[in-house]
Amino acid sequence: MVNVFSCLPYLSWSQLPKEHPLPSHLHRTYVATPCGNLELLSCQPRHRDPKTPPLVFVHGGFGFAAVWLDWMTYLYEHGYTGTIYAYSARSHGASYPVPYLQMVCGTSLDDFASDLATVVSHINTHLEDEKEPILIAHSAGGALVQYTLLNRMITATGLCLVGSVPHFGGFDAYWNWTKMDPWMHPRSWIFGFHPMSGLAHPKLVHQAFFADQFPLDKVKDFMHWMAPYESLGWAGGQNGSFWKWLMGKNEWLEPMRILHSVNGWERPGDRICVMVGSHDRLMDLSMARRQVSEFRAAVRSMDLEPSAVKRARGYDADTKESDHEEATLEVEVEALDRVRLVVVQGAGHHTQNDMQWQAAAEVVRRWLEQL
């Protein structure tokens, strides 16, 4: 158990924008919104193909655009021929700050959806000549993307959800968190329900976000860039029905309506990729499997042309791949009915930042190739 007093230095009720250092191939600009400027990182390809769609990375709760630096760099170095983007939502990263009470109590899921829609519209209109993006989203960012797609605020040509809150809501994740850290709620009461109560110490962040082998000193650096507080409207707006969850069948968003905003089904390839770390203590494998199962059922009901329902070439069901670095990192890929499930062995919730990030990035690269 983490001592309550040791958490106090990690709590803050104010913030300033944080500009994470960038490698030379990435650039930072800003997207104007009625409320303030949003940070946008971009990476131009070495060899551009005008037909290649842009990638837009979406971070999760307490996140920031730079959580995607490793994956952005990997895809750039391995020849992705479109532009790669990542943005920070309001009061995250180098985007404009929102005062504590306004952020925690007065900022809704719809506000974050508006930010995402503004960024995608800016990219489509001013940077990419109306090319629809491929969206890659993590955790609560995955819930945000699904919500924004369902409401037709954006469209995409592919969707990759990484350790994502599923379309049926996040109560399972909060229950997993409570079992993992039963003192989280008492700490929250002591700290006046500060949203950071569950992450107010490096050991807590390590436990929630990373696998056991991840170095604790890297967790401390990661925490420096995290948002110091979070919107309860974003967190609470993605949970679905509490009573249905208690009865064992939570519901929130309808998969079919999400998929209708993902275009390109007339072409072969898996339009949807769901990735989860085998050691994700929040969004566990059972949640990912239910999500994939319900997405596949929705695809089957879409009455696609038979030629478009082929499995992605080279990825039959239950295919297993291994990547070798200093040790063997096994990645399991299951592709069926245009929806791909990826299990990254040994990875925690922040798969894109954990020790296995490179193996996971390679699977994403291969998924992009077959779209």
Q: Where are the domains of the chain?
A: 4-303+322-370
Instruction: Check: pTM over 0.75? Answer yes or no.
Output: yes
Pairing verdict, β 272-277 and 158-162: parallel
Task: Please report the pLDDT score of residue 3 as a whole number.
Answer: 87
Task: Measure the CA–CA gap between 294 and 314, rounded to whole angstroms.
Answer: 23
The pair of structure tokens assigned to 240 is 């679905």
| 206 vs 213: CA distance, rounded Å | 10
CA dihedral 112, 171, 298, 284 (to 10 degrees): 100
In whole angstroms, what is the distance from residue 41 CA to residue 22 CA? 9
What is the structure's pLDDT at 323? Answer: 36
Concatenated DSSP letters of 171-184:
HHHHHHHHHH-TTH
Query: Phi and psi at residue 161, in whole multiples of 5°?
Result: -110, 120
Residue 79 CB neighbour total at 10 angstroms: 12
- Please choose, from the candidates 59, 20, 23, 25, the residue with its C-alpha nearest in 3D space to the C-alpha of residue 43: 25
Note the pLDDT of residue 330: 83
The tens-digit pLDDT sequence of the chain (371 residues) is 788 999 999 999 999 999 999 999 999 999 999 999 999 999 999 999 999 999 999 999 999 999 999 999 999 999 999 999 999 999 999 999 999 999 999 999 999 999 999 999 999 999 988 899 999 999 999 999 999 999 999 999 999 999 999 999 999 999 999 999 999 999 999 999 999 999 999 999 999 999 999 999 999 999 999 999 999 999 999 998 888 898 888 899 999 999 999 999 999 999 999 999 999 999 999 999 999 999 999 999 997 765 555 544 444 434 444 333 333 358 999 999 999 999 999 999 999 999 999 999 999 999 999 99
Element (H, E) at 324: strand 319-324
How close are the terminal C-alpha atoms of the chain, in Å?
46
- Given 3.40.50.1820, 3.40.50.280, 3.40.1670.10, 3.50.50.60, which CATH number is that of 4-303+322-370? 3.40.50.1820
The 10 Å Cβ neighbour count of residue 135 is 28
Integer Cα distance of 324 and 344 in angstroms: 13
Q: How far apart are CA 195 and CA 234, in angstroms?
A: 11
Q: d(Cα 74, Cα 23) in Å, to the nearest integer?
A: 12
- Among 349, 339, 350, residue whose Cα is nearest residue 158: 339
Check: CB of residue 350 under 8 Å from CB of residue 142: no
pLDDT of residue 194: 97
Residue 262 · residue 188 · CB < 8 Å: no
How many other C-beta atoms can be found within 10 angstroms of the C-beta atom of residue 253? 19
pLDDT in tens, 227-268: 999 999 999 999 988 888 988 888 999 999 999 999 999 999
Please provide the size of the chain in residues.
371
At a CB cut-off of 8 Å and minimum separation 6, what does 316 contact? 335
